[in-house]
Amino acid sequence: MKKSLANYSNFIFKIAAKKKSTLILPILEFVISLILAITLFSVKLNAYYKTIVIYAYTLVTLLLGVLYSSLKGLNIFKDLEQEGIELLTFAKPISRKSIIGGKFLCFFELGLIWSLCTLISGALVYSSLASGQKLVTLIILSFFVQLFNYLLFGIITILISYKLSQKFALAIPLLIFTPLAIGGAFMAANATSKINNAGYYLNTKYEYHKSNTVLDAEKFYLNNNKDEFFIMPNGNENKSFSKEQIEYLNKVMEITKKAATNWQAYSWLAIPYQMLDIFNIDNETPFTLNNNDKNNLENYINYKKLESVIYNYKLDTKPNLLNLPVNYEGKIVNKYFVPGVLKDYSHIPNLVNTSVIYARENASEFDSSFQEDNYVYASPRNLVGEIKWNNLKDVLSNTEFNEFAANFFKNIDIKFTQNPSLNEMLEAKTKLLDTISKEVNDKNSKLYSIDDKNIAVFDKYAVKNNKLASETERKIYLVSALLNYLYFAGNQGNLIKSLLKSPSDKNTYQASQIKIQVDNYKYLIGGFESYEAKSKVVNDKVVIRYDLTPSNTNYLFQDIDSVYSIKRNGTVVNKWFYFLIWVGLIIILSSISFNLYLRKDYK
């Protein structure tokens, strides 16, 4: 039986191979792919448009695959009957099972050839749009998805042609595939992830809160490529969420629970859309409607576009954020440490304790003399100042700075034992701050080669244009930015822990002033609530000093009682399970087709 089946399959293959469509469609696909690849290699597209091109090209090739499989199914199962070859075959000493099995084997062989042609054509186009692992995945998908696409819709055509005419059998698969695939793309354009939908409500404006939002909280991502953002109460005085804030957060999660449900259900049910969307490896939204106001997360620091409608999300009341033991009123309790400049950020002007203040050591003492005192008409703008979140965020969002900071901390020669001692941690803190001090005081540092007029700290004329108070302030910002980068990128590491180590207790940590050498002076970052200028005539010169109001909480890194986060809570749509659906359908439909044609009466 096996020999007769193979012989009949070869016989049918030779007949089908002579059909014009067997060669024309693969050649057409290759020509389209070649022209498109040449065009794409000659132009530069950003990532958003590359995703659109991948989607559009894949849709076209899948449609060609549906057309090709329908034609081949008809060539093998319908044309042979109409041409009389079927009746001649039944007159030969060959079983009906071998005949029907030979047809399916021939149909499968043609599918392999089509899929190989698609792989070659796809490799040309995808190589102009992607690289590395993504390119390899796209090329592999171009073979297997096209093969399943060919088999599934070819078998559907074979089933339809059992009772209906060839025109209907050819048209129906295309009419099924096209609206379902394109409809899914438009549904995805209108869908939004649950985390993005939550961001919409968390960003709801309210001008009488310092955060300018109803929730009165600040949001941030860590620089660790995780799809999770953290939420902390705004304001130096607020150490935990109020009852109203907790109720609001829970209500937001309840409202957004079904944000992506329609798209998720559609993805599991619409086979044509599955075959298209599986090429969306990065889970982006290729076609967007009203794209300008769709993203509610892009203003959060360290946002990396990792959210997707394929995931479920939850509110985590005990997230994995820097959480350390603190000696609080004689008791050891664990507290979260958060970036103080962001926590203090206020949209309402002229409020106290809404920025981290830095001051030169002895900036309030008239008994201390500074070089600036020699300039009669000059105001010493570099004695004290404020670190504003907008300026700091701009630095932390700069690509060149992030690349520099990553290499800088990677090359710091500070090693820790498995269980670092108190002295080891304090020595590491000293070395860390000394290394940073040396870097920001070095005029030849790569930090000063970063040139961006849109970022005050990297604008060479920022002091002249009153964007910064002084060159000293520029350096203070760079110190703060490097330390904040360390927090966001190495949140659980020993380096950031050493910065927060209690100077007298091995087992506890504490928020405190950062003392660092800048421009031959010692500067204190944090630990002040406010400052006010004062003057005095000394040696016939007006000397400016500042009254500094101390603060026990307003530091560069502050401890608080509660932080929440919104993060992934499982995958709702696992695209790799699509293959199981396709295989199952192909097996079921093939079995039905085989049995129908096995019992068919030929006239």
Nearest C-alpha neighbor of 156 from the set 176, 181, 179:
176
What's the rounded mean pLDDT across residues 347-356?
A: 89
Q: Which is more confident, 520 or 302? A: 302
Give the model's pLDDT for residue 89.
Answer: 57
Does residue 36 have a pLDDT over 70?
A: yes
What is the mean predicted confidence (pLDDT) over 429-443?
A: 96
Phi, psi of 525 (to 5 degrees): -105, 120
pLDDT of residue 292: 43
Q: Which residue, 236, 239, 235, 229, is CA-closest to 217?
A: 235
Spatial distance between the Cα atoms of 475 and 482, rounded to a whole number of angstroms? 11
Distance CA 350, CA 267 (A): 52
Residue 363: CB atoms within 10 A of its CB come to 23
Per DSSP, the three-state class of 54 is helix
What sign for the dihedral angle of Cα 86, 90, 93, 94? positive
Total number of residues shown for the chain = 603
Q: H-helix or E-strand containing 336?
A: strand 331-339
pLDDT digits (tens, 9 = 90+) for 164-178: 888 899 999 999 999
Residue 377, pLDDT > 70, answer: no
* Distance between CA atoms of residues 400 and 448, nearest Å: 11
Residue 3 pLDDT > 80: no
Per-residue DSSP letter, 301: B
**Per-residue b/e over 512-530, b at no fewer than 16 CB within 10 Å?**
bbbebbbeebebbbbbbeb
Nearest to 410 by CA among 392, 438, 435: 435
Average pLDDT (266-281) is: 94
Q: Residue 85's pLDDT band (boundaries 50, 70, 90)?
A: low
**If you compute the radius of gyration of the chain from its CA atoms, what whole number of angstroms results?**
34
Tokens representing 362 are 């002895």
Q: Distance between CA atoms of 214 and 205, rounded to whole angstroms?
A: 6
- In order of 284, 307, 338, 525, the CA distances from 54 in angstroms are 12, 20, 41, 50
**Which range, of 227-231, 371-375, 409-413, averages the lowest pLDDT?**
371-375
290: buried, middle or exposed (CB in 10 Å: 19+, 13-18, 0-12)?
A: exposed
pTM assigned to the model: 0.89
Phi and psi at residue 110, to the nearest 5°: -65, -35
User: Which of 469, 255, 193, 228 minimizes the C-alpha distance to 355?
Assistant: 469
Phi then psi dihedrals of residue 438, to 5 deg: -60, -40
pLDDT at 159: 93
Average pLDDT rounded to a whole number, residues 410-415: 90
Smallest Cα–Cα separation from 358: which of 275, 538, 197, 480? 480
How far apart CA 489 and CA 302 sit, in angstroms, is 10
Percent of the chain with pLDDT over 90: 71
Beta pairing class for 521-525 and 228-233: unpaired
Angle formed at CA 140 by CA 139 and CA 142, multiple of 5 degrees? 65
Q: What does the domain layout of the chain look like in residue ranges? A: 2-190+577-598, 194-320+563-571, 323-560
3-class DSSP state of 177 = helix
Q: What is the model's pLDDT at position 83?
A: 55
Q: Inter-axis angle of helices 578-598 and 132-161, to 10 degrees? A: 20
In the chain, the amino acid numbered 22 is: T
In the chain, the percentage of residues whose pLDDT exceeds 70 is 94
Q: Looking at the DSSP assignment, which residues form a beta bridge with residue 327?
A: 332
